[in-house]
Structure 1
Amino acid sequence: MSAQLFVVATPIGHLDDMTFRSIDVLKSVSLIAAEDTRQSAQLLKHYNIATPLTACHDHNESNKINILIEKLKNGDNIALISDAGTPLISDPGFKLVRAAQENGIRVTPVPGACAAIAALSAVGLPSDRFSFEGFLPSKQSQRLIHLERLKHETQTMIIYEAPHRILECVKDMVQVFGADRPVGFAREITKTFETIKKMTLEQLVEFIENDHNQQKGEIVLVIGGAAEEKDLSQEKLDQLLTRLLQDLSVKAASQLVADLTGIKKKIAYQRALELTENKQ
C-alpha cells in the first residue's frame, strides 16, 4: 500500500481526550509534522511516542511541502498535527493536504477533539445549520466591516477570539448584531477553568467586564443567526420581478427586490433569470 498522510486530531486541553487510534497512528508513522514541535514534544512524551517531529507551520509550510511530499512518495507515512484540536481548523496544514491530494497521495483523517464543534454541542443554540468564521480581523475597522457582512446570516456562527480582544470584539458585535442577539461563550473547553454559558451579547459584555478571568485562555463564541428572512410567496415574488424586468436589467431588478423585501439577492436573481428565459 502506498504511503498516507494522516490528519490527526489531538486534545484541546484534557489529555484523556486523545483517542487510541490517534496514539497508534502517531507511533506507527515515519514522521510527525507539527505546528510547534516544542509543544507537541510534551504530548508525545506523555504517550511514550518516539516518532521524529518536524515543524510545519504558517511561516514555513510553503517551503516544507516539497520535502514532505517527496517523503510520502518514497513510501513514508506522515502524520499532521496542530498544537491542539483538529489540524486545518484555524490552524496550518491546508497547503500540505492540498498538495497531497494533487499528487494522488491518500489523506486519512483521524478524528478527535475540535473546539468549534465542542462549543456548538454545549451552548444550546441551533446546530442544524452553522458556519465556522475562524478569527475575526484584529483591527476594529476591519472587524466591523466583517461583522456587517455577517449581520443578516441566519445560520449559527462559530468564531474564535483571542482573550486580549474578547471584550472589544463582543462590544463590536453588540453594535452590529444588536444587544439581544443570543451568544454562547465557551472558554478553556475541557480544562480546569472551563466556562460555558449562553446569554445575550449585552449580558456577555457585562459578564466579561465583571470578571477579568474571562479574558484569559482559549475562547469560542457561538452566535445565534439573524431572524429568518421575510416570507414572500412565489406568486408575489414573480409579480414584482415581472413588473421590474419591464424596465430594469436582471441584476438591477433582483437587487431592488432584495432591498424591498429582505430576501437574498441570489434567490431573486436566480428567479429573475428563470422568468427572463421563460419569456424568450
Structure 2
Amino acid sequence: MTPRTWLITGISSGFGREMTEQLLAAGHRVIGTVRDLGKVADLNAQYPQTFSAELLDVTDTDAIGNLVELSFARFKTIDVVISNAGYGLFGAAEELSDSQIDQMIATNLVGSIQLIRAVIPHLRAQGGGRIIQLSTYGGQVAFPGNSLYHATKWGIEGFVEAVAQEVASFNIGMTLVEPGGARTEFRYGSAQVAKLLPIYDGTPAHAFLRMLDPANGLAPGDPARMAARIIESVEQNPAPLRMVLGSQALHSTISTLRKRLADFETQTALAASTDFPAGE
C-alpha cells in the first residue's frame, strides 16, 4: 500500500490504537488525537518522524476546527480521515441521567458530524480523499439497554449516507464501518453503565450485564483483523458505503433488515390509502 497521511481520532485504545500501530509499522504517517498524551508516549518515542499526537476533546467544536486547520497547514495533504472517537453507555432509557445523554450525543454524534464538516473543504481543495466513520452493526440493529448508543449511531449513519452523496463528485469517498463485538476496551474497559434501577433486574433491559462480563465468554471479533480490513478499504474505488465486520454482526444485520422489509411490504395498502386519488 502506498504510504499515506492519516488523521484518526481517539487512538488511545481499541480500534484507534490498533489501526495506528499497524499504519505506523507499515510506514504511513499518522496524526492521532487523544485526551491524554501519556497514553501514546510509546508511539511518540518509537515513531518520532511519522507520528504526531494531538490533544483533542471531540465535544469541543472549536478545538476540532483548529486541529483540522493546523493539521492540513502542516502536512499539506491528508489522505484519510477516520472518525473513531466514541464510547458505549448501557442502561434502560429512564436510567440514564441528563448529563450522560448530553455527553454521549456530544461525543458520538455531534463530534463526528463536526469533524466531517471540518475536513470536507480541505479534502475538496486537495482534489479528494477518504473519510471513514466508525459506527457499529448497532447502527442497523437495536438492543434493549443500549438505546442512547443506538440513537447516536443511527444518527451518524444517516448523516454519512447523505453527505457521501453530496461529496462524491469531489472525489471524496465515505465509508461507515459496522463492527460486531470485539475484544477491545470498548466492551471490557471503557463502557459506561447508568445508575441501574432494580425494577429492570431480570428484564431484557439489563441483559447487557452478562455481555460485559468476560467470564461469560469473550466477543468473537479480533481487533487486529478488523483494523486491517478497515485500512485495506481505502484501496477500494469507489469507497464502500458500508463494511460489516464480524460474521455474527452480518448475520444479525441481514436478519433484522429482512424482518424490517417484510413489515414494510405488508403496508402497501395503508401507504397508498393516504395518497390523493389518481388525477386529483
- TM-score for both structures, normalised by structure 2: 0.40
The structure with more radius of gyration = 1
TM-score (norm 1): 0.40
Question: In proportion to residue count, which structure has more helix?
Answer: 2
More contact order relative to length (CA 8 Å, sep ≥ 6): 2
